[in-house]
Structure 1
């Protein structure tokens, strides 16, 4: 057989695999969009009902509780999900059972840490109720530790359909529980018990209706060593991620009243839809794509990734632009007069988010390649830049200073993201330039059009 025939056969055998991956990636992306879209509609409906039953102070306190729960979760994250998605042993029962056992241990440790931290934090924020609410809310982390690894297995193989249906059903059940609790309790405890009981419902649904490997307690030394080797950099990265994604609320808890923090959180809830959509689709779509189609393997791979990246960016910017243009009227329509200031907050934050979503696909190239160290370097650099600028701005000028710090951090963090993208051969400067010009034009028009609402929200 000639070299030409060998090459031809290789291309023939490669074509169905590329087609199969493209089909699964498209299906995964569509299911992820459906999951996010329907989930956001349910969250919005729940939010509208709960804001009419509970007070801004309740939402402010729960925002603090949620931020610290996410912080404890991130501070103990060893990258169990990415380990399953990228490891060659990701389908082996011993590997999966070891991860499941480690997750359970982690859940108990998080709850214990919450009990220790509760009262010191209550004193720090001058919020006595925090000391009672935080430990109870943390019990949901124990329940979450028992979630089966077949959730990550489904994501590994881009089999998202059934997973999406179950997740949406879980979310609906949790919302109904929370609303019922709010009608009965009419206090922040409704949000707490809704979270805890919703976690139990989620565990039951996944165990009953998601097929796959049934986990058992096991601790295989080889599997544990692999997870720890990959996860040690994920651990440090998620600590940085906490500062990036929750640092604003931790800082504002000292700068604003709980009432003001509750209003900020409503604006943030709507403004972060594009970034949350990007994370929801990106993680499930790009890690498998980068793993099976590394950009350094050929021009065809780079083109396929570029098309997918451009499509995701167009979707995210479209959502962000709509929110920026209709922000204050949307808040006026959806919420009562107590939350009117959230409209200006929404516009300011979503304009900043436009810059954040443009390079969102690059970070997954490192996780797909198992380069958790490179991912950590990027996250730690971004965290230092972000937290320094945001904290300085908040303590000097309050909420306006915090938002200015967020905007500047997006500019200074971009070179770090580019460094990681170039390291894995996936940087697309043409994509970034076009998207940035579109984002800046949209942001300028939105800020000018809603100037009065923004000034009223930030300086009142």
Structure 2
């Protein structure tokens, strides 16, 4: 009876957390999309191209120095102990300071490599946001650990809204890139303040518990390499295309990535915010019971995310032409290609279940393989078809990576081949039929 009560309670938490995740993300996308419609009319594509390079540099620093503090707190048995949390917070603060120093050192060579002198000052100023976020309370992670996502979601939305207010106020008066920088930094500051004001938790102080450090570094050693590769997977396209496209074309591509990334972001958020804590609480189940829960989770994910992918892949160009002015027309076909490529990960990826068992090396292995697949497909596409082939390679790499993903799932007896086949074949048929009808009648 007790086990049944625990399972029922976990199910309720997971459902509530999922609802908060989707509601919060939906509201976040509405805010972001609304502001994007306004900003694309006020700012030139070149400004978005520059900001894409700034964000890529700073996010790269963040991910190349990630020691897995958040996932460590979520999965560790000591994740609620003050000494453990204070030690994690101390490491986080020191990391934020180190990141800004690295940003200051790397800003000049990065600006020279891309031939954009403005990047130097932009990166130094924007990089200070790492110092601010380094002081975030660890309650952001402990709330996630207990699937208490309501206030977490509100914090994200409020900080985003605050950021957008600053951006729009600045850009309406001075239509330049510094409005985007100021808004971004203000949003980070608001999130840091709210992490202390709105979430219950310990009062942080600097601490250094060697057992906690060892636990954090043992789990985080593979996370460090994994997030470095994760950066490559997420931003290699912009780093490469930034060298081969004009800064304006890079801004157009960034718009296509922003729109297609909505689906990918929802998928990733559910995997990290919902599935990792759920797997951590279900890791003692038998493989048959875990497999059944995975099947249900995947069916729910596919039912929610596949229809938007189909719509984007079929009507992407029409959507872009309807929403944005003619300067952004080329984002349409890019949006279609990138959206179609998301069918494979949405259908097949079931979340980081192996992290719940403390197996962070498998995550590293998968990211290495996927990085090679991405780099290889972009190189081949670029050699054959130029910049168009590079962009198509970004979408195709998911299919190349799929067999390696299957091998890991089979190792844990969690591969469900009929579900993969049903999702991919039905998607291919629907997208092909839709494109035919659009090209024939519109």
TM-score scaled by length of structure 1: 0.92
2:369 is the counterpart of 1:401? no
Query: How many corresponding residue pairs?
Result: 440
Partner of 2:341: 352
Residues 332, 36 of structure 1: CA spacing in aligned structure 2 closer, same or farther, 3 A cutoff? same
Paired residues of 1:278 and 1:360 also in contact (CA < 8 A): no
After TM superposition, the structure 1 = structure 2 runs for residues 214-363 of structure 1, keeping only pairs within 5 Å, are: 214-294=203-283, 297-362=286-351
CA–CA distance in 1 between the matches of 2:209 and 2:83? Answer: 7
Contact 1:365 1:424 survives alignment (8 Å): no
**Equivalent in 369, 376, 394 of residue 388 of structure 1:** 376
Q: Using a 3 Å threshold, how does the CA distance of structure 1 residues 80 and 451 change in structure 2: closer, same or farther?
A: farther
Partner of 1:79: 68
Greater Cα offset, 265-274 or 350-359: 350-359
Counterpart of 1:154?
143
Contact 2:162 2:186 in 1 (8 A): no
**SS in structure 1 at match of 2:200:** coil
2:398 counterpart of 1:426: no
- Equivalence for 2:363: 375
Per the normalisation by structure 2, the TM-score is 0.95
Q: Does the CA-based 8 Å contact 2:334-2:391 persist in structure 1? A: no
Shift of 1:213: 2.2
Residue 439 (structure 1) shift: 2.2
The runs of 5 or more residues in structure 2 that have no matched partner are: none
Q: 1:394 to 1:143 in 2, by over 3 A?
A: farther
Deviations 1:124-163 (A, max 9, x none): 1111111111111111111111111111111111111121
Mark the runs of 5 or more structure 1 residues left unpaired by the alignment: 1-11, 453-460
| Cα distance change on mapping 1:98 and 1:391 into 2, 3 Å | farther
1:300 shift after superposition: 3.1
Structure-1 separation of matches of 2:92 and 2:158: 23
Distance (whole Å) between structure 2 residues aligned to residue 78 and residue 285 of structure 1: 21
Q: For residue 407 of structure 2, give the secondary structure of its aligned residue in structure 1.
A: helix
Tell me, yes or no, if the aligned pair for 1:296 and 1:302 is still in contact at 8 Å: no
One of 425, 430, 433 as aligned partner of 1:445: 433
Structure 2 residue 87 is matched with structure 1 residue 98: yes
Query: Could you tell me which residue of structure 1 aligns to residue 404 of structure 2?
Result: 416
Separation (CA, whole Å) in 2 of partners of 1:61 and 1:249: 11
Cα drift, residue 432 of structure 1: 1.2
Q: Distance in 2 between matches of 1:451 and 1:294?
A: 49
Output the CA distance in 1 between the equivalents of 2:60 and 2:383. 21
Residue in structure 2 matching 1:18, options 2, 7, 13 = 7
Structure 2 Cα separation of the partners of residues 450 and 195 of structure 1: 39
Distance 1:60 1:422, change over 3 A: same
| Root mean square deviation of aligned Cα | 1.7
**Aligned to 1:358, what secondary structure does the other structure show?**
helix
Kept in 2, the 8 Å contact 1:73–1:110? The answer is: yes
